[in-house]
Amino acid sequence: MQFFRRKKAPIRRLHIYLIALLFATIVTIQSATTNENGQIVLNITFIILFYINYIVWALIFDWVFGLFLSIKEFKKPVLKNLISVVINLLLLALAHSFISNIIFYIYRLIIGSKKFNEIVPQFLEYFSRIYSQRLLDIIIILGLLKILDLFRTSQSRKLKVAELENQLHMSQLQSLRAQLNPHFLFNSLHALHTLIGHNDEKAKNMVIKISNLLRRILDHSDKQLITLEEELEYLKDYLDIEQERFHDRLTIDFNIDSNSKKFMVPSLMLQTLAENAFKHGISLLVGKGIIKLSTKLNEDRLLISMSNTTPLENNGLRNNSTKVGLKNLRKRLIGIYGENQSIATIKNKTIFKVDIMLKSTRE
């Protein structure tokens, strides 16, 4: 068990003391009475006591915040951690009771309102009431911290959503234009041109696939997330068109977990991986190449792996990749999933592999 866990709160120390003074002032005003003449009367002893009480809470606030984090990060085993939280709660209230009363009675000794031999009996007489009040104080402080934490979390989520929506709206027109005019489309039209008159049936099928591809791009242009199943349908049309260009030089291998198809993923995510595979791998090969895609759903985590053949470093055809596509994809995943994602790349002599992990954002 960890006792007196200290954690610096994300609040400026000056603000903590100002809040403590504010609460002390409010309690002081509430304790005011009126005399027979209707005049407001304040008891100086109570005023000193109230201000000492809240200033001491400000002094030990880092330990109170540490207790709040222990409650917030509560983990198993339940009984052990519950006992730890309760003991820390009782000890903090006890520590505050002694510190605040030592300061208070030193003040009373200095002004001469109390003698030393009177302090201990009076403290013991009122200790149970003092201790119960300190317990109530710390529970109220923890409650206020919880409210502030919920507010900050809510504001953070709203800000994150607003930023994502702003990014989406700002990039929609540019993104749509880029998607409607990708480099592969010109290559596809060239491949289509060579098929016309030579293999009209294949040409018709290719026109249909290009049409389906563009329709899906338009349908998904305003969507941040789509199901993996929808994303795979788009990718298959994309790869079918590319396969016409490379004929028997390209092999595509899919190993898709059927349970993963309903998982929500960023639209056109797989296209980014495929474009990277063609631009820096397949298109540079002299011989045959292969693209492999596999997905696996592990509880609430989706694992995606795409690999492709690349040319040898010394064949003179190596393209110096700036990895802009993967960098932008990484930023996009961070924007949507936060820490609940990872993207890693592995490169050996002739294979480049990208592994992505996405954790469901549903509560």
Residues 145 and 111 both lie in one domain: yes
Query: What is the structure's pLDDT at 85?
Result: 83
48 domain-assigned: yes
Residues 279 and 231 both lie in one domain: yes
C-alpha angle 341-342-348 in degrees, rounded to nearest 5: 160
Residues 323 and 226 both lie in one domain: yes
Residues 120 and 235 both lie in one domain: no
Residues 215 and 125 both lie in one domain: no
175 domain-assigned: no
Residue 57: domain span: 13-157
6 domain-assigned: no
Q: Give the sheet arrangement for strand 341-347, strand by strand.
A: 250-256, 289-298, 301-309, 351-359, 341-347
Answer whether 335's CB lies under 8 Å from 162's CB.
no
224 domain-assigned: yes
Strand pairing report for 351-359 and 341-347 = antiparallel
| CATH code for position 283 | 3.30.565.10
Residue 275 to residues 91, 278, 291, 325, Cα–Cα distance (Å): 61, 5, 11, 9
Residues 204 and 106 both lie in one domain: no
> Which among 93, 125, 157 is the end of a domain?
157
Residues 221 and 345 both lie in one domain: yes
Residues 214 and 74 both lie in one domain: no
220 domain-assigned: yes
Residue 73 to residues 67, 69, 153, 155, 335, Cα–Cα distance (Å): 10, 6, 15, 20, 24
Residues 72 and 143 both lie in one domain: yes
> Which among 157, 191, 226 is the end of a domain?
157
For 19, the enclosing helix (H) or strand (E) is: helix 13-30
Residues 309 and 208 both lie in one domain: yes
5 domain-assigned: no
Residues 121 and 221 both lie in one domain: no
Residues 110 and 216 both lie in one domain: no
Residue 2 to residues 5, 9, 63, 229, 290, Cα–Cα distance (Å): 6, 18, 12, 48, 55
pLDDT by residue for the chain (363 residues), tens only, comes to: 566 778 888 888 898 889 889 988 988 888 877 777 777 777 788 888 889 988 998 988 888 888 888 888 777 777 877 888 888 888 888 989 889 888 988 888 888 777 777 887 877 888 888 888 889 988 988 888 888 888 888 888 777 777 776 665 555 545 544 554 455 667 677 777 777 877 777 788 778 877 877 777 676 656 678 899 989 988 888 888 777 777 778 889 999 999 999 999 988 888 888 888 888 888 788 788 899 999 999 988 999 999 999 887 655 555 555 567 788 888 888 888 888 899 999 988 889 999 999 988 654
Tally of domains within the chain: 2
Residue whose tokens read 């045959």: 288
Answer whether 337's CB lies under 8 Å from 361's CB.
yes
Across-strand partners of 351? 309
**In this structure, what is the dihedral angle of CA atoms 37, 40, 43, 46, given to the nearest 10 degrees?**
150
CA distance 197 to 200: 6
Residue whose tokens read 């209707």: 38
For 306, the enclosing helix (H) or strand (E) is: strand 301-309
162 domain-assigned: no
CA distance 243 to 245: 5
174 domain-assigned: no
